[in-house]
Every structure is written in structure tokens, then in C-alpha cells.
Chains A and B, each alone.
Chain A
Amino acid sequence: MRPSENIEKLIKKLHYKTSAETHDKVLGNVMQALDKKQKQKPGATMPVLWRTIMKSPITKLSTAVVIIVCIALSITFMEKTVTPAYSFEQTLRAMQDLRTMYMVCKDWNGHEFEMWIELDPATGIPEYCRAYWPGIKVLNISRPDTSYQYSERNNQVQINSGKLYSIDIAPAKIFEQLMLASKEDPDSVVIFHERDRQSGKNLIVVITRGYKQSYKVYIDPETKLPVLMKGLENNLLGAVVKDIEHIEFNVDLPEDIFDFEIPEGAKIIDHDRNNRLLNNPQYGISTEGMTEQQAAETIATMYWNARIEMDAITVQTVAPLSPQTGADSSLEELVEVGTLYIQPGCGIGKLIPCRIRYKDGSLKEWKLVIKKRNIDGRPSCVIAGFYASPVEIEPAR
């Protein structure tokens, strides 16, 4: 062995490996031990929701009443003749002492993600939030001071000052809105019961069809807290959560869960700079006297024509975040500008689809994000960027 040879490196190579058979055997034994432990403590496996609420003194006091009410309700439901006695106020009362939440959700693009939330006890609004999308490897950390959006695949961090409102889920606020909607238009709310196949419980089901959001919410008749939520429709700018598939309240959150350390070599996008540019009245166009659609069509047309004519100054003026060298000689003409619409999950603005003919004969659809502004009482708009990749409508010749 050469003196310079690093013996530590050599020791590191001293690996012990088991055969696949032994690995499976040991893992099987360990998993068996886990099964045994979980069977011994069936309550420990799931709903902290029920156990936590049961621990509260108020709940203890009202348990007897709840049980009686539940028995009465179950009888009523089985007969299915009487409208179940449920009001949103009951859920709002039950939500008064919430401190933390853990949820498994689905976004409007169908991606599953997990959320850990710490609520401000005074307002019921999330103060800290961590959301992780395992499928697309995206992590969002929302904090009152600074928020981070990290894409593991691109090793890119977006930094925002303040909270990330797109993942700001305040269940109490949702129920407040549902309650108001039901008061304004009682027909927009339907309440019935459905038996949960897993637990065998009769859950209260509330369907609300509002102007901005429509939900189907499943409520535990005992705790009056939501156990499931299905988003049916969404016209709310920036909303991310569609479904809540699993929810636990007042759980002990892991330490440091809302901390974020910028990974080594990560590309950093500072949104404060971007926001300053997007909110600078020097950029964008005045939309005085225009409808939202007209304003979006105007700015989109200006942008594409400037790109086609390689007019860099106009491109920068209407879309200040465009790269300085945004000249593109492959564009032929702007074929069509579509109708402005809301894309759930895109909180900056509405999208306008634009079809562009390329010099190679292909036709592609781009979606521009139009940010509406009102600076010093003057309405205006600016192009904040593109949404997703372009879609090829017709291939190249």
C-alpha cells in the first residue's frame, strides 16, 4: 500500500451486503413487528383528529351530548326523511382551537402534495406552511417574513418576501365563505349524508356551488370538522388546493419544518426584483376605458408584433421580465388571440392564449400571463410571463 493511499477511503469500501432473500426476510420480520405494534395500538395509527379533540376539556364535557345527538342523527339519517341538523357555525366553533394541520391534497393539475400548517390562533389564518409535491419534486415554504419555492429537478429557488398566498389554506375562512354563500343563496348549498366505506361512519356532506368556488365537503358528524374536501370548480385566481384527501388537526409538527436552506449551486430567482419591475408604471400599458379582455388582447398583440418585428424596446416595455436578447427571427405572424381565463394555481394573473405561426409552417399556442394593476388609481396591465410550455397545434411543413 502506498503511503499516500488513503486508508479511510479503502475502509469506506468495506461494504457488507445481504442477499435479496435475507433482505426480504429481515424486512419481513421488521414489518411484522410493526404490524404487531400497530394492532396493539389501533388508535395510534390514524386520526389524531378524533383523539386530540377528545382530549380537550370542552369536548369531554360535550361528549355525552354529542353521542346522544349522533345517535339521534343516525336514526334520522337512516330514515332519510328529515333534513340533517347541521350548520356551518358548528364547524366554525369546532375550528376555534386549531393550532396545526397536516393534509394530503391534490392540486388542480392532479398532482398530490402534502401540507403542514401552523395557524395563527387569533385569526385562524396560516402563519407558516410547508407544501411538498413528491411527484414533481417541488417544495414550497411559506413564512411571514420570506417564502421559498424550490424545484429539486431544476435546482431552482424562487424567493418571495412575505407569505405565499397560493398555499394559504385557512379552513375557518373557507367555512366562513360557505356560511355567507349559504345565507345569500340557500339553494347553492345541499346537505345530505353519505356512509364512509372505510370508517363506516355517516358523514355529513355539504355541496356548495358558489360564484368563485364549488366544493363538496365531508364533515365528521361528531367533531363537526372536515375530513375530506373535493374541489368541484374554481374561478379563484391563484388557488392551488383542489381536494383534501386526508386531514389531521392539532398534530405535533416536526421541528424545523418551516426552515429552508438554499441548496448548494441552486439558481435563485428573487421575486422582489421581479415584482418591483411588474409594478413599475414605466412598464405595461394603460387600460383606461378598456374591458379586461380588450386590455389583454391589446397588450398580447403589441407583444407578439414587437417580437415578430424584433422591436426589443416594445417587448421590454410590455413584458419587463423578458430576456434582453429576446429577438426571435423564427416567428411569422400572430394568428389568433383567445379569451382571457383563470388558471387555478397561477396567482399572478389571468392567462390569454395566443396562436403563433412560425416560419417553418408550424402553429403553436402560447399562454401569456396578464397582470392587472391599479397604480395611483390608473388601471394598467403588464405581461408577467408565459404559463407552461407552448402547445403545438400544427406541425412544421
Chain B
Amino acid sequence: MLEDRLLLWKFRHGSKDAFRAIYEKYAGDMLTLAGNLLDDKAGAEDIVQDVFIKLIESVDTFRLTGNLKSYLATCVANRSRDYIRRSIRQRNAMVKQAEKMSAEAKSMVHLAISSEQLQKLSDAMAELPYEQREAIALRIHGNLRFRQIAQLQNVSTKTAQSRYRYGLDKLRSTLNGEVKK
């Protein structure tokens, strides 16, 4: 964690290398997080780019209280929600076009996942209610604590834990059900 603070400190003092090191360290994890939240690879890439650009813009003013990965994960989660809201608005306006775009985006996601079981899991994740999917992705890919997830979702810690647990149960039963078939 201290290493991140030093990187941020150097970045704040003008070191491009320090920023690049932060990017190389976390961009992959953030892409995975955004990808799991959105089920849309192109959208996930846009969000990761936006989050790092935002970090550049705010580096002089923001103070890191926790760890950098959690901070970035929270930014990704917030932007993913905005992205989904925007997508829904667009979809309502142009349903057919949006469906086509969604199918294209999905096929790109599928390319990134090789195993059949993981593909099924990815599909099952996409079917989960957003709050449950978010709780799972933030916990597993963003390493956020339930307290932090609860804060982000504006619910109690217990609710965040329940969303996580229900989500996992659903994923497990979906995967088991498919195997039984």
C-alpha cells in the first residue's frame, strides 16, 4: 500500500514513469472489474480509460485514505452505473440498434473467455440483478470490503453481504442446473 502512495507521490511530482507504473499495475484488474459489471468489453475499456484520465485530473487535490486499488475500483463502479444508465436511455430510444450493439459487444467478451465453464459463468453473471453482480465483482475483482460496497450502494453492510451471498447462490444453482441437463 505504501508503494502505491509513493507512486502517487512521485506522479504528483511530475513523474510520468510513476503514472505508467500505476496504470500497468491496475489497468488489467480494473478492466476485469468493469467487464464483469457491464458484460461489454468495449464499454469496459472506455471506463478504464476514463478512470485513469480522471486520476490525472484530480491527482493534485485528491487524498488517498485507503488503498489505491479500492479507490480505482470505486471509480470504476460509479462510472459503470452511469454507463448502464446511459445505455438504458439509448436503448429505449433505439431498441433495435442497441440490441445489435449489445450482441456485438457480447461476442467480443466471449472472445476473451476461453473455457466453456467460465463462459457459462460469465453468462450467468450477466443475468444477475445489477446490485448482486456489483457486490460480487467489487468484492472479488476490486478487493473491496463489504463496508465499502455498502457505502457505494448506499445500503447497510448486511444488505451488501446478502446481495453478495444471494448472487453467489444464484450463480451456483445456474451452473449446477446446466450441468444436470
Contacts and interface: CB of A to CB of B under 8 A. Distances in A.
Interface in B35-69: 35-36, 41, 44-45, 48-49, 52-53, 56-57, 60
Q: Is the interface of B mostly helix, strand, loop or mixed?
A: helix
Interface in A1-50: 1, 3, 7-8, 10-18, 22-23, 26-27, 29-31, 33-34, 37-38, 44-46, 48
A16 B14 contact: no
A74 B45 CA distance: 53
Interface stretch (B82-90, B146-154, B169-177): B169-177
Contacts, number: 106
Q: Contact residue range for chain A? A: 35 or more
The 6 closest A-B pairs by CB, nearest first: A16-B35, A45-B14, A254-B5, A254-B9, A1-B175, A33-B53
A37 B12 CA distance: 11
A102 B35 CA distance: 39
Contact of B140 (A12, A23, A29, A248): A12
A102 B9 CA distance: 11
Nearest to B9: A254
A376 interface: no
Interface of B: 2, 5-6, 8-9, 13-14, 16, 19-20, 23, 27-28, 31-32, 34-36, 41, 44-45, 48-49, 52-53, 56-57, 60, 109, 112-113, 115, 117-118, 121-122, 125, 136, 140-141, 168, 171-172, 175-176, 179
Contacts of A257: 2, 5-6
Nearest to A10: B121
Given A8-B140, A256-B2, A14 B14 contact: no
Contacts of B115: 13
B31 A16 contact: yes
Contacts of B31: 16-18
A237 interface: no
A1 B179 CA distance: 7
B100 to A, nearest CB: 21
Nearest to B63: A255
Given A11-B136, A17-B31, A18-B31, A26 B19 contact: no
A124 B52 CA distance: 39
Nearest to A45: B14
23 contacts: A1-B172, A8-B168, A11-B171, A13-B115, A14-B32, A14-B125, A15-B112, A16-B41, A16-B112, A18-B41, A27-B27, A30-B53, A31-B19, A33-B53, A33-B56, A44-B14, A45-B14, A46-B13, A102-B13, A251-B13, A253-B9, A255-B5, A259-B2
